[in-house]
A and B are shown apart, each in its own frame.
Chain A
Amino acid sequence: MSAVSQYVEEYRTIGAALPGGHLPWLRELRERALTQFSAGGFPSPREEEWKYTNISTIEKKRFRPLPISEPSAAVESWLKNYELEDVWRLVLVDGRVAADRCRLDGMPDGMIVCGLAEALTKYPNLVQSHLGLAAGRENHGFIHFNTAFFSDGAFVRAPGGQALPKKPLQIIYLNSRPESLATVRNLIIVEPNAALELVETYAGADEQSYLSAAVTEVSIGENAALDLYKLQSESTKAFHFGGTYVQQARSARFRHYNFSFGGLLVRNEVHTELGHAAECLLYGLFLAFGRQHVDNHTLIHHAQPFGISREIYKGILDQRARGVFQGRIVVHQDAQKTDAEMSNRNLLLSENAEIDTKPQLEIYADDVKCGHGVTVGQLDENSVFFLQTRGIEEQAARTMLTFAFANEMVDRIRLDGLRGSVQAQLLALFSKANLHQEWL
């Protein structure tokens, strides 16, 4: 029996217990997604957008959705590693909200932060009007899989028209059990004129294999702004699919910071559609060691005039790791005066590492300014030599330069607490890869 039909079979037994079972529209949505999933299965490398990523290892394994159970005691200590100070916090363990670990007191009026399952009973209309809006444009197996199977997720609504206290919201997704399946579906609604800072942290128990398939749908209203930080430090044996699909209204601003450090087989997707004079910034840093495979897929639709987009992704690949960057900018016919730039820079540190990069421009309007650039290479020998002449050992000099290459992206983080935490993780990774750090 193939993995796909196994999952489809499983839906028959657990489907009714999934959240929102009382809502006919949702049942129908799930059924439709299941039909699409059972027809198409998971994406295959024969599809152009999945050319460099073969997920057949996921199909060979059998991940099971977990029944609701008390999280293990170890969870507490893992969470400690990722919790930020002075934030509101929503915690999901094994794909479900762990209410007693959330810190959501003192929310301003109109602001909603809760689990999606809870939102489906409390605010079904609000959910109905947004669920599937941004992800509906996407069409591949993981989206359908998530839609059919999502067990919970984060539901966030930032109200407009009032000053919100400048306090970020952190959502932690923790996977604690082996061979488990976490399908979370997040809905982030930033209403017109509101501003929100959001940190998503994906983490898991060390050395455990599990599948985390998350889909995040974001809607940013007129003149609203969202800074979304995604920190992916799944276990080194985990499979991670994380798709973020964004719709930006007129003059909306979206900043995405994507740090991908963990996972064995990882696919990050960030797709956004820009309204009139909207702005988006996509920053990414991915590090991969061992046999890790990290695929970053970004898509920016300039649908309306005067949009601005900036994208910088950097990759560091060592040992037998493989990195993929696929970035696409589409400028539609109406999107005159678009200004788009994309750059992807990669550092290959080992003979066995590989990078595949495919930056794409698709342009249908004539009065635009678009460009993209890619570089693949190693450290500049002159810079290494310069440091050596200052009495720094060669190995230390190389580490220093590699760290500086990565740190440029970390420096762009606008939240002090998070910047420190990401930097610490980066250093920990460097020491794991036997890179010296006594110079710090």
Chain B
Amino acid sequence: MAASAEKLERLISQEYKQGFVTDLETDSLPPGLSEDVVRAISAKKDEPEFMLEWRLQAYRHWLTMKEPKWAFVHYGPIDYQAISYYSAPKEGGDKPKSLGEVDPKLLETYNKLGIPLYEQERLAGVAVDAVFDSVSVATTFKAKLAAAGVIFCSMSEAIRKYPQLVQQYLGSVVPPGDNFFAALNSAVFSDGSFVFIPKGVRCPMELSTYFRINAANTGQFERTLIIAEEHSHVSYLEGCTAPMRDENQLHAAVVELVALENAEIKYSTVQNWYPGDEEGRGGIYNFVTKRGDCRGANAKISWTQVETGSAITWKYPSVVLRGDNAIGEFYSVAVTNHRQQADTGTKMIHVGKNTRSTILSKGISAGHAQNTYRGLVKVLKGAENARNYTQCDSLLIGDKCGAHTFPYVEVRQPSARVEHEATTSKISEDQLFFCTQRGISAEDAVSMIVNGFCKQVFKELPMEFAVEAQALLGISLEGSVG
């Protein structure tokens, strides 16, 4: 066991590999939040009148709301007036027309992150919409997508080009007054991705966005909206990182998914925001509202997330199963280390008949971290024969961390069947012994067991992400268990 204790030490001293700062001139608003700031953001984005109205309403509503306190996380008060609500890399006037015009330093940042735009374009065939601080830098593969009728662009572009679609769907899943952070986001969101898959189209490639918070003292408030019309299909990937800074940064995003009849949306996230140092200084506060709405019959929404970063994670990707026979899925691996805190899980709201949902959550907690699964399964009166299966497993590494499971089950329909199971354990010495006794090193054995623990979730990830997720897990936890 001494060897693994050593490895645990090594893990704890592991540095954040994405923690570099890109030295760029930025165009930022001074810190502070007021109606003028909201107006300024809207003006900078050249938005139509209805958006400004929408933002202002959200802002006024936000003023009346209180920050929620029920989550199992602890942090100092956030000063919302000390945050700059808009930050964009300065490019001297016009937006870049092609990748060649993008600031080379920016591209270098992405290269360091391991998502070279060119390379991805050539090799992976993934269309990337990269969001840097608050504006979308470049969107690749537009032409190919356009041929299929798919719209994949930044949110601000969508607001200008497709105001009708935006007006129809924006806020229809997560209303501006939904919760404190969603209201804040609605008022000040600066950019994000917009995806529209027309009727009957199977999106020819996987869509992907990479988020990065670069500027200091900024919040990132991105807003993503994905609409899948009848009989369409899309798989969307999202990745996030941030540089190392001593102060905490706020990230309050909203993601809305709309799936109409027979449509399918698969949304995968690998979240690797800067988690703070060993003492818990700095790091991102990740307060995110993600919700999908299965509006039509037989629609399907699937969330897969690998959460390894952030000082505090607070998110519950949810699915409203409105249409009959709709399916909701949630697969999650949440890893917390050092002094990270995660309160994450899902909500499955069964409204339609024969709706089904599956929840599979794997939590790994190490160091002084606190990892909480919080999930709601709600079956409304009309949801005949609704079916839910939930499994939450927690793995504890070290005796200073915590793993918690808080499921909420609310059922109003007698024909519904809801099952919930949860276990908490550490890697058993028997398992380790079995492996080492067969000549496998303790380190490999642990990595094998942890990977096995997460396998059910990883296999839901698209190829590229599965590789990245395994690498991330390797970085954070390899050889640390014992």
Residues of chain A whose beta carbon lies under 8 Å from any beta carbon of chain B: 48, 333, 336, 346, 348-378
Contact A361 B409 (CB under 8 A): no
Q: Distance in Å from the Cβ of A113 to the closest Cβ of chain B?
A: 41
A361 with B422, Cβ < 8 A, contacts A333-B399, A355-B411 known: yes
Given contacts A348-B411, A351-B413, whether A363 and B398 have CB atoms under 8 Å apart is no
CA distance A364 to B426 in the complex (A): 12
Since A361-B422, A373-B419, A374-B409 are in contact, a sample of 8 more A-B pairs with Cβ atoms closer than 8 Å, ordered by chain A residue number, is A333-B399, A346-B411, A348-B416, A351-B381, A360-B404, A360-B407, A369-B425, A373-B420
A333 CB contacts on chain B under 8 angstroms:
399-400
Query: Out of A336, A354, A364, which one reaches B412, CB within 8 Å?
Result: A354
The reply to whether B421 and A366 form a contact with Cβ atoms under 8 Å apart is no
B422 touches A373 (CB 8 A): yes
Q: Is the CB of B404 within 8 A of A370?
A: no
* B421: chain A residues within 8 A (beta carbon): 371-373
B437 in the interface (beta carbon within 8 A):
no
The answer on a CB contact under 8 Å between B406 and A360 is yes
Report A-chain residues with C-beta under 8 Å of the C-beta of B397. Answer: 366
- 24 A-B pairs (CB sep. < 8 Å): A348-B413, A348-B416, A352-B412, A358-B406, A358-B407, A358-B408, A360-B404, A360-B407, A361-B403, A361-B404, A362-B402, A363-B404, A366-B397, A369-B425, A372-B405, A372-B420, A373-B422, A375-B417, A375-B419, A375-B420, A376-B416, A376-B418, A377-B417, A378-B414
A-B contact count (CB 8 A): 111
Find A363's partner among B414, B416, B417, B424 (CB 8 Å cutoff): B424
- Assess whether A378 is in contact with B409, with CB atoms less than 8 Å apart: no
Taken together as a complex, chains A and B put the C-alpha atoms of A338 and B404 apart, in Å, by 15
Given that A371-B422, A375-B418, A375-B419 are known contacts, is A360 also in contact with B405, CB under 8 Å in the complex? yes
Of A353, A358, A363, the residue contacting B409 (CB under 8 A) is: A358
Q: Is the interface of B mostly helix, strand, loop or mixed?
A: strand
Residues in A whose Cβ lies below 8 Å from that of B407: 358-360, 374
Tell me the smallest distance from the CB of B69 to a CB of chain A, in Å.
9
Q: Are A359 and B420 in contact (CB under 8 A)?
A: yes
Name A377's closest neighbour in chain B (CB-CB): B417
B50 at the interface (CB under 8 A from A): no
A353-B414 contact in complex given A336-B399, A361-B422, A375-B419, C-beta closer than 8 Å:
yes
Q: Considering only CB atoms and an 8 Å cut-off, how many residues of chain B contact the other chain?
A: 35
Contact partners of A371 in chain B: CB under 8 A: 421-424
Chain A residue at smallest Cβ distance from B405 = A361
Docked complex Cα distance between A378 and B409 (Å): 15
| 9 shortest interchain CB distances as A-B pairs | A366-B396, A348-B414, A374-B420, A376-B418, A361-B405, A377-B417, A370-B424, A364-B402, A357-B409
Chain B nearest CB from A301 CB (Å) reads 14
What residues on B are CB-neighbors of A48 within 8 Å? Answer: 70
Q: Which one of B70, B411, B425 lies within 8 Å of A376 (CB-CB)?
A: B411
> Does B415 belong to the interface (CB within 8 Å)?
yes
Residues of B within 8 A of A374 (CB): 407, 409, 418-420
Residues of B within 8 A of A361 (CB): 394, 403-405, 422, 424
Inter-chain CA distance A358–B404, complex, in Å, is 13
Across the interface, which residues of A come within 8 angstroms of B416, CB to CB? 348, 376-377
User: What is the CA–CA distance of A354 and B410 in the complex, to the nearest angstrom?
Assistant: 7
Question: Are A363's CB and B402's CB within 8 A?
Answer: yes
Contact in complex: A354, B411 (CB < 8 Å): yes
Residue of B nearest to A359 (CB): B407
Contacts of A352 in B (CB 8 A): 381, 412
- Min Cβ gap A303→B in Å is 15
Residues of B within 8 A of A367 (CB): 399, 426
Complex Cα spacing A109 to B402, Å: 48
Q: Min CB distance, B365 to chain A, in Å?
A: 9
Chain B residues numbered 407-454 whose CB sits less than 8 Å from any CB in chain A? 407-426
CB distance from B396 to the nearest CB of A (A): 4
Once the chains are docked, how many angstroms separate the CA of A358 from the CA of B345? 14
Q: How far is the CA of A258 from the CA of B407 in the complex (A)?
A: 23
* Chain A residues positioned under 8 Å from B207 (CB to CB): none
CB neighbours of B424 from chain A (8 A)? 361, 363, 368-371
Pair B414/A349 contact, Cβ less than 8 Å: yes
Query: What is the bound-complex CA distance between A212 and B371, given in angstroms?
Result: 39
Q: Which residues of A contact B400 (CB under 8 A)?
A: 333
| Interface assignment of B11: CB less than 8 Å from any CB of chain A | no
Q: What does the 1/0 interface line of B386-398 toward A look like (CB < 8 Å)?
A: 0000000010111
B131 at the binding interface (Cβ < 8 Å): no
Residues 362-382 of B, flagged 1 when their CB comes within 8 A of A and 0 if not, give 000000000000000001010
B401 on the A face (CB < 8 A): yes
Chain A residues lying within 8 Å of B403, measured Cβ to Cβ, are 361, 363
Residue of A nearest to B376 (CB): A358
User: Looking across the interface, which residue of chain B has its beta carbon closest to that of A317?
Assistant: B414
B351 to chain A, nearest CB (A): 15
Q: Tell me which residues across on chain B come within 8 A of A378, comparing CB atoms.
A: 414-415, 417
Contacts of B422 in A (CB 8 A): 359, 361, 371-373
| Given A354-B411, A366-B401, A377:B406 Cβ within 8 A | no
Contacts of A354 in B (CB 8 A): 410-412
Residues on A with C-beta less than 8 A from B396 are 363, 365-366, 368
When chains A and B are docked, how far (Å) is the Cα of A183 from the Cα of B326?
50
The complex places the Cα of A361 from the Cα of B72 at a distance, in Å, of 12
* Residues of A contacting B410 in the complex (Cβ-Cβ under 8 angstroms): 354-357
Taking CB atoms, residues of chain B closer than 8 Å to A373 are 419-422
Cβ–Cβ contact A351 & B414, under 8 A: yes
For A359, what are the chain B residues with a Cβ–Cβ distance below 8 Å? 405, 407, 420, 422
Cα(A365)–Cα(B416), bound, Å:
35
With A358-B409, A362-B404, A363-B394 known as contacts, the answer to whether A370 contacts B423 (CB < 8 A) is yes
Rounded to whole Å, the gap between the CB of A411 and the closest CB of chain B is 24
